[in-house]
Structure 1
Amino acid sequence: MLRPRRRGIASVNAEVRDGIVPAAGALAKTRDEGPAESGANYRFVALIIASALFMEFVDATVLATALPTMARDFSVRPQEMSVALTSYLLALAIFIPASGSLADRFGSRTVFRTAILLFVLGSLACGQSRSLEMMVASRFLQGVGGAMMIPVGRLVLLRSVAKRDMVNAMSWLLVPALIGPILGPPLGGFIVTYLDWRWIFYINLPMGALGFWLVGRYIANIREDEPGRFDTPGFILSGLSLGCLLFGFEMVSRPGESVMAGVLVAIGLIAGIFYVRHARNREGAILDLELLRDPTFRLSVIAGSITRITQGAQPFLLPLMMQVGLGFTAAKSGTITVATAIGSLAMKSFAQRVLRRFGFRRALIWNGVIATGGYAICGLFGPAWPTWAMFAVLVLCGFFMSFQFTAYNTIAYDGVDKQHMSRATAFYSTFQQLMLSLGICVAAMALHLAMIANGNSAPTLRDFSVAFWVVTAISLTATIWNLRFSRDAGSEISGHVECEETSEERRSAA
């Protein structure tokens, strides 16, 4: 457990309605370990939070399907549209670190509703974009809103749920977020094929209005009594570092901009070094490096980050591969790529049982290899592959990768006390989104280098295959870190009998 800081305890300054969150007394009695009992309707809270996240997942999957069409309208090459994805994820990486401090100061409900409003305004601006530059700026505004939705929503749930219900709660949280990707690809393909791609952003408006109302009606305004000073220097340094690194990596894939890319990467590294020096000497740094002292949290961050390179690359590479490399229509591409979301949704009923049977460590090791290997098979797709075979492979990819991230997202907080939870969710979400962004950058870079090596002016199927194998090879190295998890890591969460017996034996021996 992490060492507590001198901070005020969290207060719930809104009514506890119908058992949605535990009573204040229950929270106070278990401040360091979390609530002893979950609220009667904690699943409803998870679904409300997920209704806002639903917009983000629909938006991301719809946009990926529409990238080739948008590239033609903006008169740019398809691979250059990666900046439209990167700018959104860049905003997440920059502003997510501030989300925990903002939630502590102003309350989770206030920050959540503001985030939804910003996301909706950004969606409206995206629909009005007439150039790639305007699209990039509008996506950045969307990202500012999204940066606060993800960790603040997770924070509300973590402060409301007992450990034994954590896997179940996380699964409920992800249900609408998984329905979004199921609807996204075919919806995007339909809109691009039969309507105007701008409608993929306009559909966020009614969803945003619904989420705004639900959050205001049912979510408690959890905040700290003494939130402390906002780490302005840390926010500037971390934002400068993350921003320069991401755009530097993204520019590597553009011809003639290698010098500028090198300059940005160098500035990002220097700013990162200065941030580390700053954080070591400051209590309450915006990205709290002391969290990494907890081995379970540290391993989840490292292994999960490496694995997310493949997850970030997939929505960029797969639609382009099918439309540019295989010549599929946007509608057909969307129909096939929906398979990953179907697999993800199917997994949710198995997560708790698998973790109880095998424990976190063994599940993460073996499932990680299977999940990453599944996406490597995508590099073998070709004209001879029947549609049903591609669909089946992607269903399995979605199934195993979804399990992997459910496990990472749950076990990360096993050793984090409630006083550090807001900073832990901000820290974890920052690296989560950073690596998703890096996955796009690595995929675009690998695709560009493959084109150069093969002497192609436009990407071919062989170039896409190389890009898939590069990102999956990187993610496969997460196995090294999965092996370092303790055998009884997360045993209280998973209920793994063997782990519990091992822990009891160790305590008896001690």
Structure 2
Amino acid sequence: MNKESTHTALLWIVATGFFMQALDTTIVNTALPSIARSLGVPALAMQPIVVAYTLTMALLTPASGWLADRFGTRRVYFIAILLFVIGSLCCSSAHTLSQLIIARVLQGVGGSMLLPIGRLAVLRTITGEQYVSALALISVAGQVGPILGPTLGGWFVQAFSWHWIFLINVPIGAVGLIAVSRYLPDGASRDAPRFDLTGCAMLSLCMVACSLAIDVPMRTHRVDWSVGLFVLGVAAALAYVLYARRASHPLFRLGLFREPNFSVGLLGNLICRIGSSAVPFLVPLMLQLQLGYTPLHSGLMMLPSALAGTIAKRWIAPLIRRFGYEAFLLVNTLIVGGSIVAFALFSHGTPLAVEIAVLALFGAANSMQFAAMNSVTLKDLSIADAGSGNSLFSMVQMLAIGLGVSIGGGLVNLFTDQWGSAALGFRLSFVCVGVITLVSALVFRRIDKEPARPVPLPTRAAQR
């Protein structure tokens, strides 16, 4: 096989891995009520299966590059796909919620390595102008996954059973395993740098403790546990700061935070994504549990949001060139937060056209929001800090998704128990998560102003 054919095969392997990861992030949401009925648990108790997956990915993302350097790209990518497939099989055969959560953790272990290692293989194999085209192809796979996910999940549930939302990964993964063995370069290095296991453990403890500090009181009303977990999370973060000051090669240099826009962008991303990440979880639940939509119908209702988001990506560069990052993010954050609050108005009497319009508005504004705030966060990092900054940024993104699902689902349960009305619970929850997103506008006001200059191409992180 010639060099060009090998490059093409490599791109399809990485794109397929990204597609599986992106698909699995969204395909589950429309199936949650059906899974809950099958497992005999309330639908609003299903957020742990989403949180377990995203939190696992957040914890293991920093180690993916080191694993590829130490043990070889081909070997680690093969194991990643294998774990993802085994995790998918375990998910489909789960008989209890606890079993499904454990299987999702296994799936997340494999999923956490699919994109970072695949992107690393492309970077090492394809250079120059071809690299930009290669990333474009891979990003398309990441966009198609969220577009197909909700509808495909609803169709599988309605036509077959919820088990197929996980079983679909098996044939795709099997083909991927064969292709990886044949086409992916090895890439092992005897000079791989030492991985900062101590620093990674501290940050992992911080993220897990803070996530549980939010999730536990929402489901068990144990405020004392929440306070204790939050204190543990803060203590772990402070311990990492003290450790990173002395360590010669910490996982993330503290110097990253001396770049003002990185610090502001990281905090703004976290707050904004908490609100917007609750939407893909809450909307299908509301449509099925409160408005009586079928799984397929609720999945189709998510299409306007995904399609509008894909179309709107082309608007971001000219808008930022004209108005600048600060003005754009301030206005667009208000649109994103306002559209989330507007979901509270959905009822049996809401015209279908209005529902579609609100979903499309949210999808377009949210897509541009991700591209803008991701770009402003990473654009001023030095070449030496770019990889480390992007890795930390990816961790924060995944953490925010888990927090958004925990907070959104927990608020619905809290308000439903308080007021005795699930419909009111959903409405108040959308208002709350919308307000959380609106708060991030105050953070983005602190972006450093600078003279107008060409807007850089969005990084891969901007696709989410």
TM range (shorter): 0.7 to 0.9
State the match for 1:30 in structure 2. Answer: none
Equivalent-residue separation in structure 2 for 1:56 and 1:106 (angstroms):
22
Is 1:397 equivalent to 2:359 in the alignment? no
**1:154, distance to aligned residue in structure 2 (A):** 5.2
Is 1:475 equivalent to 2:437 in the alignment? yes
Letter paired with 2:304: A
Equivalent-residue separation in structure 2 for 1:94 and 1:16 (angstroms):
38
**1:219, distance to aligned residue in structure 2 (A):** 5.9
Is 1:294 equivalent to 2:294 in the alignment? no
Letter paired with 1:116: I
State the match for 1:464 in structure 2. Answer: 426
Contact 2:276 2:433 in 1 (8 A): no
* CA shift in 2, pair 1:289/1:141, >3 Å: farther
Is 1:440 equivalent to 2:402 in the alignment? no
State the match for 1:387 in structure 2. Answer: 352
State the match for 1:407 in structure 2. Answer: 372
**1:97, distance to aligned residue in structure 2 (A):** 2.6
What percent of counterpart residues are identical? 33
Q: Deviations over 1:389-438 (max 9, x none)?
A: 21221122111111211223334332334433332222111111011111
Contact 2:214 2:407 in 1 (8 A): yes
Structure with more helix by fraction: 2
**Structure 1, unaligned runs of 5 or more:** 1-14, 22-40, 496-510
Is 1:142 equivalent to 2:107 in the alignment? yes
**1:199, distance to aligned residue in structure 2 (A):** 0.7
Moved more, 380-389 or 415-424: 415-424
* CA shift in 2, pair 1:126/1:231, >3 Å: same
State the match for 1:98 in structure 2. Answer: 63
Q: How does 1:31-180 map to 2 (within 5 A)?
A: 49-108=14-73, 110-153=75-118, 172-180=137-145
Correspondent of 1:281 among 216, 239, 246: 246
Equivalent-residue separation in structure 1 for 2:134 and 2:212 (angstroms):
35
Contact 2:340 2:362 in 1 (8 A): yes
- DSSP 3-state at the match of 2:28: helix
- DSSP 3-state at the match of 1:416: coil
**1:63, distance to aligned residue in structure 2 (A):** 0.9
Question: What TM-score do the two structures reach when normalised by structure 2?
Answer: 0.87
* CA shift in 2, pair 1:421/1:410, >3 Å: same
Contact 2:412 2:422 in 1 (8 A): no
Give the root-mean-square deviation of aligned CA atoms.
3.1
Equivalent-residue separation in structure 2 for 1:442 and 1:71 (angstroms):
19
Q: How does 1:273-352 map to 2 (within 5 A)?
A: 273-352=238-317
**Structure 2, unaligned runs of 5 or more:** 458-464
State the match for 1:429 in structure 2. Answer: 394
Equivalent-residue separation in structure 1 for 2:276 and 2:365 (angstroms):
12
Is 1:198 equivalent to 2:163 in the alignment? yes
Moved more, 283-292 or 182-191: 283-292
- DSSP 3-state at the match of 2:84: helix
Contact 1:347 1:403 in 2 (8 A): yes
Moved more, 291-300 or 373-382: 291-300
Contact 1:288 1:427 in 2 (8 A): no
* CA shift in 2, pair 1:427/1:351, >3 Å: same
Contact 2:30 2:150 in 1 (8 A): yes
* CA shift in 2, pair 1:261/1:65, >3 Å: same
Contact 1:185 1:337 in 2 (8 A): yes
**1:198, distance to aligned residue in structure 2 (A):** 0.5
**1:221, distance to aligned residue in structure 2 (A):** 5.8
* CA shift in 2, pair 1:122/1:463, >3 Å: same
State the match for 2:147 in structure 1. Answer: 182
Equivalent-residue separation in structure 2 for 1:448 and 1:144 (angstroms):
29
Moved more, 127-136 or 460-469: 460-469
Equivalent-residue separation in structure 1 for 2:276 and 2:364 (angstroms):
13
**1:62, distance to aligned residue in structure 2 (A):** 1.8
Is 1:269 equivalent to 2:231 in the alignment? no
Equivalent-residue separation in structure 2 for 1:258 and 1:80 (angstroms):
18
Equivalent-residue separation in structure 2 for 1:288 and 1:232 (angstroms):
14
Contact 2:272 2:438 in 1 (8 A): yes
